[in-house]
Amino acid sequence: MAQNQAIPPAYTPGTHPDLPPPVRTTGMVGWVRKNLLSSPLNIALTLFSIWLLWSIVPPAFNWVLTDAIWSADTRKECWALMSAPRDGACWAFIRGSMELFVYGWFPRDELWRVNLTFILFALTVFGALRENIPGKKYWLWFAAGFPFIAAYLLLGGGLEVSTFKVLLLAVIVSGGSFSAKKLSRGGYKFWHLLTSIVALLSLYVFQVSDYNSVLFTIDGLTSVGTNKLGGILLTLVVAVTGIAFSLPIGVALALGRRSRLPALRAVCVIFIEFIRGVPLITLLFVASTMLTYFLPPGSSFDLLMRVLIMVTLFASAYIAEVVRGGLQGLPGGQYEAADSLGLTYWKAHRLIILPQALKISIPGIVNTFIGSFKDSVLVLIIGMMDILGLGRARLNDPDWLGLAPELYIFISLFFFVSCFGMARYSLSLERKLQTGHKS
Amino acid sequence: MVQAAHNTPNLLLRLWRNEDSRGVIIQIVTMVVLFALIAAIARNVAINLADVGKEFSFGFLNWPAAYDIGFSPFIEYTNQSTHLRAAVVGLLNTLLVAVCGCILASVLGFTLGIMRLSRNWLVSRISYVFVEFMRNVPVLIHILAFYALVVTLLPPVKKAIDVGAGAFFLSNRGFYTPSPVFEPGSNMVGIAIILAIVVALVFRRWAKQVQDRTGKAYPVFWISTAIVIALPGIVFLAAGMPLSWDVPVLKGFNFKGGMAIKPEFLALCLALSYYTACFIAEIVRAGILAVSHGQTEAAHALGLQNNRTLQLIIIPQALRVIVPPLCSQYLNLTKNSSLAIAIGYMDITATLGGISLMQTGKEMETMIIVMGVYLVISLTISSFMNWFNQRIKLTER
């Protein structure tokens, strides 16, 4: 013991300055050693990766940016401006066709309508997605009304006021206000249902009879045929319609599938499994070739409308499965708690179940949205001119023959930016809504 | 109770307010509306078909198809064959591209997923960028772009690129490879392969039993691999190597002999597989990350070596997370293969739902068959998935 005490401590705290950590373990060098060169295999992988990047990135960069030609009138002009033909990208092709790619064949002197729609769309997205924005409620109402505003802006047309339409409006307004009163007292929505049925019936009766005589006409925007929509405009119309309307239908289907009423459940299951079991392209074929057979003889409706219905139904089946996952992920205690508070089925779902279930299904819902955005290009196969269809048609232009790489890069970038943006937003939303208790 | 019954105004409202009877009412109304809708559609269809002078029958399947299918590797087909035969060719082509696509997508997807988890920063970034870019672009664009790439960038047949040993050639008419020629005696090798697999399976069972009983572990993987390779190999040599290769040779304007993989098939299969692989990569990554690190530590604490840990602890648990979404990716790939129609690969949608539909004008019948085929494929894959899920489900106490 005594001997131990006699030895002075080799190091007295405070007498030596703190040395910095070894250079090899911190900073740049440490990071490189740890992440790139930690073992022989790792070194080999790093070298291989560098070789791969070196052989791909600089040539691609040169082709896409430094050697590219941005303004020319034909492909020949492009080649003439390069050191050798095809030495760089000919972006003049995309630039020259940009107006066509964005607006399709929309009448050129009505373009402000498309631009206004785009601006309103941006506002809708901004207002609906921002968390703490003043007047959030009104933004959401605006977002809900946007598809209808956009439809009118794009397609236009005057309004023919007839006896029937006045009557219909009266029925809807009275029914609506009546049911609103009932609702605020927590009553049944039976009357609402009834008035809606009456309204629909009267619609049918009056449509086929002569009560449809026009009283007077209100002139509106010039009517534009749906065949004039094309390019990015059409892509957005198809995608946004599918996204906007598939969510409510999908939630309804999911609730139907979880219902304890066997008949209702069976109908929903058959519908969902059927839609999910067939490719979208076959549904689009159905829309383009045989849907008119289903309608009353002599009537038909627009191809775009039929396609939109199919795209919406398709997306809603997928949304339904995602939401069902969310509903199943909710602990049973939540249902029991809602029941014990004496809430009705609809109140329990509106106030307790759906907010939580939708929250956990956000990643899946956004994935489905991304899927339906990407699926919108399939309309090309039934001959509609979305951005891809229009671009491919443009490739046959003798001035721009064989510029497929430029076209596909441009369209890929368009989709990548849109879809990747959605995915990132969903990630940030997920993080924001994460309240910490995972069940 | 009696008081309440007196207060309620009428029978209908009373039934509506009772939960059970309300359920019955809702269901009856649903069914009535649904059947009314179906009846209305059926009536409309009947009237509309009569108007255009068509009848609903599947008799057209026996009419001669009168169109050519450029790619029919399994059964004979000429343009004199029936529509039914065209449909079967289409179905086989669909299945071929689906199976090839699924295998390629799995291999590529697992590779990308593991690369994404690599400790090497560069490797994981490369995988990340590739996956994120590819999966956010519609698969139809991949297919069309890849097809354009194959057709425009590859040289014509006369200048085909020799990609290996003067036997593999790439040109814009397709990829030419040698095809195997089976000589008499090769069926013996086939039997030997089956036999070897059976022996290997029996050995695995026996080894597992021995291990359960005594704890002694055999290197099962290596021994069974050796059995599967050695047994057919010996038979192959003993039978005097009854296999030769028919090598493609350039004669005139095209290759003679060998096997030609059409550019349509090449583009479709590759585009579908790398697109799906990106989704599989994410699934694999999530599956492996889902196994908590404590499992690895526990296995090491039990004295298991690294490879045994991976094989016995990590992979079985990761598979439980990976397999269900993996199946649904296979399903997506199969359904996406219907996009073949965009580049003229003759799958079931392009033959029966495309040309046959146009030629015969039988929209209803052809679409019913096409949708039915896809439904059967989907239900088969998802029932397999359910069976597998049941089998590997965590048994909790």
Q: How many CB pairs under 8 A join A and B?
A: 148
Identify whether A150 is part of a domain: no
Say whether pLDDT at B392 is over 90: no
Contacts of A260 in chain B (CB under 8 A): 23
Mutate to test the interface with A, among B12, B33, B48, B379 (most CBs of A within 10 A): B48
Say yes or no: A216 and A245 in one domain.
no
Closest-CA distance of chain A to residue B248, Å = 30
pLDDT in 10s for each residue of chain A, 439 residues:
455 566 666 777 777 777 888 877 777 888 888 888 788 888 898 999 999 999 999 989 988 888 888 888 888 888 888 887 778 888 888 888 888 898 888 888 888 889 999 999 998 888 887 777 788 888 888 888 888 888 888 887 766 666 666 766 766 666 666 656 555 554 555 666 666 676 667 666 655 555 556 666 777 778 888 888 888 999 999 999 999 899 999 999 999 998 888 889 999 999 999 999 999 999 999 998 888 888 887 777 788 889 999 999 999 999 999 999 999 888 889 999 999 999 988 899 999 999 889 888 888 899 999 999 999 999 998 888 889 989 888 888 888 887 888 899 999 999 999 999 999 988 888 888 776 554 4
Residue located via tokens 């005490």 = A5
Calculate mean pLDDT across residues B233-243.
78
CB A93, CB A397: distance < 8 Å: no
Of B49, B137, B367, the CB nearest to A286: B367
User: Considering chain B, what is the average pLDDT of its residues?
Assistant: 85
Contacts of B41 in chain A (CB under 8 A): 294
Rounded-to-10 torsion of CA A295, A296, A302, A305: -40
Distance, in Å, from the CA atom of A39 to the CA atom of A200, rounded to the nearest integer, reads 73
Cα→Cα distances A283→A104, A290, A382, Å: 25, 10, 11
- Nearest chain B residue (CA) to A379: B140
Say yes or no: A297 and A380 in one domain.
yes
Identify whether A181 is part of a domain: yes
Contacts of B120 in chain A (CB under 8 A): 35-36, 42, 45-46, 49
Beta-carbon contacts of B350 under 8 Å, excluding residues fewer than 6 positions away, are: B90, B340, B341, B344
Cα→Cα distances B359→A281, A415, B88, B346, Å: 19, 36, 17, 15
Say yes or no: A282 and A329 in one domain.
yes
CB B172, CB B263: distance < 8 Å: yes
pLDDT value at residue A108: 86
Closest-CA distance of chain B to residue A381, Å = 7
pLDDT value at residue A40: 85
Identify whether A119 is part of a domain: no
Mutate to test the interface with A, among B119, B142, B150, B274 (most CBs of A within 10 A): B119
pLDDT value at residue B2: 46
pLDDT value at residue B98: 93
Contact A49 B374 (CB under 8 A): no
Buried-state track B247-271, b at ≥16 Cβ within 10 A, e below 16: bbebeeeebeebebbbbbbbbbbbb
Say yes or no: A199 and A303 in one domain.
no
Say yes or no: A210 and A328 in one domain.
no
- If we measure between CA atoms, which residue out of A246, A245, A281, A232 comes closest to residue A417? A232
Six-digit token string for B242: 């009854």
- If we measure between CA atoms, which residue out of A41, A53, A51 comes closest to residue B125? A53
Rounded-to-10 torsion of CA A129, A130, A136, A140: -10
Six-digit token string for B197: 């697999």
Say yes or no: A214 and A247 in one domain.
no
Say yes or no: A263 and A197 in one domain.
no
Question: Which H or E run contains B142?
Answer: helix B139-153
- Nearest chain A residue (CA) to B331: A277
Q: What's the burial of A219, exposed, middle or buried (CB within 10 Å: 0-12/13-18/19+)? A: exposed
Contacts of B35 in chain A (CB under 8 A): none
Cα→Cα distances A193→A35, A172, A265, B202, Å: 64, 11, 21, 67
8-state DSSP, B183: P
Identify whether A125 is part of a domain: no
Map out the domains of chain B with their CATH numbers. Answer: 2-51 (no CATH), 83-178+247-392 (1.10.3720.10)
The verdict on pTM exceeding 0.90 is no
- Nearest chain B residue (CA) to A57: B126
Say whether pLDDT at B253 is over 80: no
Contacts of A289 in chain B (CB under 8 A): 357, 363, 367
Crossing angle, helix B315-336 and helix B363-392, to 10 degrees? Answer: 180
SS (H, E, C) chain A: CHHHHHCCCCCCCCCCCCCCCCHHHCHHHHHHHHHCCCCHHHHHHHHHHHHHHHHHHHHHHHHHHHCCECCCCCHHHHHHHCCCCCCCCECHHHHHHHHHHHHCCCCHHHHHHHHHHHHHHHHHHHHHHCCCCCCHHHHHHHHHHHHHHHHHHHHCEEEEEEHHHHHHHHHHHHHHHHHHHHHHCCCCCHHHHHHHHHHHHHHHHHHHCHHHCEEEEEEEECCCCHHHCCHHHHHHHHHHHHHHHHHHHHHHHHHHHHCCCHHHHHHHHHHHHHHHHCCHHHHHHHHHHHHHHHCCCCCCCCHHHHHHHHHHHHHHHHHHHHHHHHHHHCCHHHHHHHHHCCCCHHHHHHHHHHHHHHHHCHHHHHHHHHHHHHHHHHHHHHCCCEHHHHHHHHHCCHHHCCCHHHHHHHHHHHHHHHHHHHHHHHHHHHHHHCCCCCC
- Nearest chain B residue (CA) to A389: B141
CB B168, CB B176: distance < 8 Å: yes
Six-digit token string for A262: 């066997």
CB A75, CB A403: distance < 8 Å: yes
Say yes or no: A329 and A380 in one domain.
yes
Say yes or no: A312 and A354 in one domain.
yes
Beta-carbon contacts of A123 under 8 Å, excluding residues fewer than 6 positions away, are: A142
What are the residues facing B169 on neighbouring strands? B162, B176
Say whether pLDDT at B1 is over 50: no
A259 or B392: which carries more pLDDT confidence? Answer: A259
Say whether pLDDT at B278 is over 80: yes
Closest-CA distance of chain B to residue A148, Å = 27
Q: Which of A221, A241, A269 is the last residue of a domain?
A: A221
User: Worst-scoring range by mean pLDDT, A388-392, B150-154, B381-385?
Assistant: B150-154
Say yes or no: A378 and A246 in one domain.
yes
Six-digit token string for A276: 């999910």
pLDDT value at residue A283: 93
CB A100, CB A390: distance < 8 Å: yes
Identify whether A77 is part of a domain: no
Radius of gyration of chain A (CA): 31
8-state DSSP, B155: P
Identify whether A399 is part of a domain: yes
Say yes or no: A291 and A397 in one domain.
yes
- Nearest chain A residue (CA) to B337: A279
The total domain count for chain A is: 3
Q: In this structure, which amino acid lies at residue A213?
A: S
Closest-CA distance of chain B to residue A20, Å = 26
Contact B379 A277 (CB under 8 A): yes
CB B97, CB B321: distance < 8 Å: no
CB A388, CB B141: distance < 8 Å: yes
Identify whether A273 is part of a domain: yes
Say yes or no: A235 and A337 in one domain.
yes
Calculate mean pLDDT across residues B42-67.
84
CATH code of residue A424:
1.10.3720.10
Identify whether A90 is part of a domain: no
Of A188, A262, A381, the CB nearest to B342: A381
Phi/psi for B179 (5° steps) reads -110, 145
| Structural domain that includes position A15 | 1-62
Q: What's the burial of B240, exposed, middle or buried (CB within 10 Å: 0-12/13-18/19+)? A: exposed
Q: What angle do CA A243, A249, A250 make, to 5 degrees?
A: 80
- Nearest chain B residue (CA) to A40: B120
